[in-house]
Structure 1
Amino acid sequence: MNPYDHGVAERQRVASVVELAQELVRLPSRGGTDAYQPVLNCVESWLSDRALPHRRLYDANAGLVGLLVEVAGGRPGPWWALDACLDTAPFGDEEAWTFSPTAGDVVDDWLRGRGAADSKLAAATFCHIAEDLHRISDRLSGGLSVLLDVDEHTGQFGGALAYLADPHTPRASGVMIGYPGFEEIVVGGRGLWRATLTVHAPAGHSGSSKSVIGAISRAARLVEALDQAQLPGPGSSFPLPAKISVTAISGGSGFSVTPDRVDLNVDVRLTPDFDEAAAAALVSNAVKCVDAEMPGPAPTDVTVVATWPPFQLTPKDEPAAAMLRAAETLGMSLATKTAGPSNIGNLLSAHGVAATAGFGVPYEGLHGTDERARLTELPSVYALYRRTLLDLLEAAPPA
């Protein structure tokens, strides 16, 4: 296969990508549930057979969190990275699936099973692209890292954090994340601010003649106040509005006791016009108002769990610009998009690393029932990423 051919990838190459992806889908790797050794062993065996340099990544507690492939060019220059996760979302209700979550088969040009879309097909694609570039590494400037995370769906993003913290890893000038979706290149995402609110109240018997305002009633009033909060809409440079959601409520037991504690999980989506400080202030003000309106034995506690800033690349920022140039070269018409959900792109941006957060094949059932990824567009996806990297790595023509 000529790595300088920017047409549709040869059938044999695409078939090899699908074959590896099928093997990966057949190995369950649900985040926080399954052992990751089998899926990592599968990829490592494939890489070793092709003499591709790779090593495992561990977190501070010596936990296995990912695999890193590194292809160094023969000339100095910036490094770039591809990222895809090998762990997956849970299966959910397996009885609701019309095929096995670990089917790994291809039916009517769809790869079926958990992880087919997010993101084992991308992982297989990126491994093959690394092999392409390794064959011509002496003609490349800088280098390519391929990060395969197995701590993504836990929400801990251990692989990405280990990659960023590793002193032996060249810092990438930009990262392209292999989330699926074919019509657009995702160049941004809303940030997040998450906190647990602990509401206090006197405990009491539900049948007592003494009236007690329980923690559930106080928590319900707080939920109402948060739902009614006014947040800014889209701005001139950021197309999405800020958003606040109460995502979990816990507390109470049985019927005869009014509880003295209820915990609320609050998720706020951030924009450049509504940042971390604004989110904290909004929640704090709502808490103070409810505490004053319905006093309890102690103020409501606000415990911040996580915060990420929003991020957004312009079409002129790398690596988004290189992806758009590649699309034009290949005759593909692609738009850019800022996504509502947060992702590893937010984490990378917070560490000063530019990222795109999605371009891949069309999909259905991501994180849901009957997950599958369409293979019809895979040759075009493969060609675009390969062409992008040849551009970024300033590949010299053959002598």
Structure 2
Amino acid sequence: MTLRLIRCPSVTPAEGGALDLLQQELEALGFVCTRLPFEEAGTAPVDNLWAKLGEGAPHFCFAGHTDVVPPGEAEAWEVDPFAGTLREGQVIGRGAADMKGAIAAFVTAVAAHLARVGEVPGSISLLITGDEEGPSINGTRKVLEWLAERGERIDACLVGEPTNPLELGDMVKIGRRGSLTGRLTVQGKQGHIAYPHLADNPCHRIVPLLQALIAEPLDAGSEHFQPSSLQIASIDVGNPATNVIPAQARAVFNVRFNDHWTGASLEAWIRERLAQVDQGWELDVRVSGECFLTPPGPLAEAVAQAVENETGRKPELSTSGGTSDARFIRAYSPVVEFGLVGQTMHQVNERVAAGDIVALSRIYERVLERVFDAG
């Protein structure tokens, strides 16, 4: 299943045949599948898949994405990145780790569970988007809104992102930090560098503004989160000359913030700090995701126990790393993340151990057993 999914060239926003393949497999298992294409002005249309088996509670959902990042230079790969190659126990290809292996593992886990129990006393669903690696506008968020309009309730959700740093069983994600990107612009007056009194150097003004943002830690962290981090990503003036004071200076920074902050409170803090230094600046802020936490409880325990039973490792319950579509799901359902080892995701020669995919399928099957046998 993983190899077949990799052979679908589903680079965001292309569907590439991946959702067609999943729909075929899931309908054979009895799922009712709905394709949900969404588009918005200025963005590419994206196809999504909602598949559901059964009715009522408990409703367990597996969420993920079939879209992948571009492979880069094909000649740098050992194999065709979309050939779906099994070599010396390794599955090689774009999306093997992030996250076609996990999607395949969930489908086979459901098949194995159904073969054992016949039917589930509740419902199982898959929410699969083609817009996670892109702008995340026409994907999971819009599917969730569509479900809410229909009165569909999800009781628990597992996202198959590659959460393990080194070995399968290392880590379960129970939350994520929020992400805020700021674009700071300072307007000046261009002039000859030998006559600074006739100009207004925006470089000299943007430096203390940025220093004010990084001078002190944002916080010391919290029970489940590491300290918030403000990092400057770029400082640009677009000036190739050495004897010209530029007319404008720009900087981009990103803040990964914990549960001491919301996007709104963090933006207010940033604007206050900048205003204490200088009034002549412009700031554009985008919050791509709020910080969230699914406190350790039944869902995290079910996943962690399934991982330990299969691998012998007790996984760390972590909130590290970047953002994922779990940032949208958390508003509708408790959500945790567990998938494959992510060492090679987005890299040339992306790969995972075939045995890990098999083990992951068994872990997902154990999760289903705990959810439905207990229920």
Q: TM-score normalised by the shorter chain: which range applies?
A: 0.7 to 0.9
Paired AA for residue 247 in structure 1: A
C-alpha separation in 1, matches of 2:143 and 2:116: 25
Contact 1:363 1:371 in 2 (8 A): no
* 1:202 matched residue in structure 2: 189
Paired AA for residue 230 in structure 2: I
Paired AA for residue 238 in structure 2: G
Farther-moved stretch of structure 1 (51-60 vs 120-129): 51-60
Secondary structure at the counterpart of residue 36 of structure 2: strand
Aligned pair partner of 2:319 in 312, 315, 338: 338
User: Are 2:36 and 1:36 aligned?
Assistant: no
C-alpha separation in 2, matches of 1:71 and 1:267: 41
Structure 1 portions without partners, runs of 5+? 1-19, 293-298
**Structure 1 segment 220-369 matched on structure 2, within 5 A:** 220-235=207-222, 237-255=223-241, 258-291=245-278, 299-316=280-297, 318-327=298-307, 329-330=309-310, 332-335=312-315, 336-349=317-330, 351-357=331-337, 359-369=338-348
**Structure 1 residues 228 and 329 mapped into 2: Cα distance closer, same or farther (>3 Å)?**
same
Give the C-alpha shift of residue 392 in structure 1: 1.6
Secondary structure at the counterpart of residue 54 of structure 1: strand
Structure 2 portions without partners, runs of 5+? none
% same residue: 23
**Structure 1 residues 219 and 233 mapped into 2: Cα distance closer, same or farther (>3 Å)?**
same
C-alpha separation in 2, matches of 1:246 and 1:321: 37
Contact 2:4 2:84 in 1 (8 A): yes
Contact 1:111 1:374 in 2 (8 A): yes
Aligned pair partner of 2:4 in 20, 23, 33: 23
C-alpha separation in 2, matches of 1:231 and 1:340: 18
> What TM-score do the two structures reach when normalised by structure 1?
0.80
Contact 2:105 2:358 in 1 (8 A): no
Farther-moved stretch of structure 1 (153-162 vs 94-103): 94-103
Aligned pair partner of 1:380 in 340, 359, 367: 359
User: Are 2:192 and 1:187 aligned?
Assistant: no
Give the C-alpha shift of residue 258 in structure 1: 4.1
Aligned pair partner of 1:63 in 45, 66, 81: 45
Give the C-alpha shift of residue 200 in structure 1: 1.6
Give the C-alpha shift of residue 250 in structure 1: 4.5
Secondary structure at the counterpart of residue 295 of structure 2: coil
RMSD: 2.9
Farther-moved stretch of structure 1 (387-396 vs 362-371): 387-396
**Structure 1 residues 79 and 51 mapped into 2: Cα distance closer, same or farther (>3 Å)?**
closer
Contact 1:87 1:149 in 2 (8 A): yes
* 1:149 matched residue in structure 2: 129
C-alpha separation in 1, matches of 2:204 and 2:20: 52
**Structure 1 segment 155-166 matched on structure 2, within 5 A:** 155-156=135-136, 158-166=138-146
C-alpha separation in 1, matches of 2:66 and 2:73: 21
Secondary structure at the counterpart of residue 64 of structure 1: coil
User: Are 2:87 and 1:101 aligned?
Assistant: no
**Structure 1 residues 392 and 291 mapped into 2: Cα distance closer, same or farther (>3 Å)?**
same
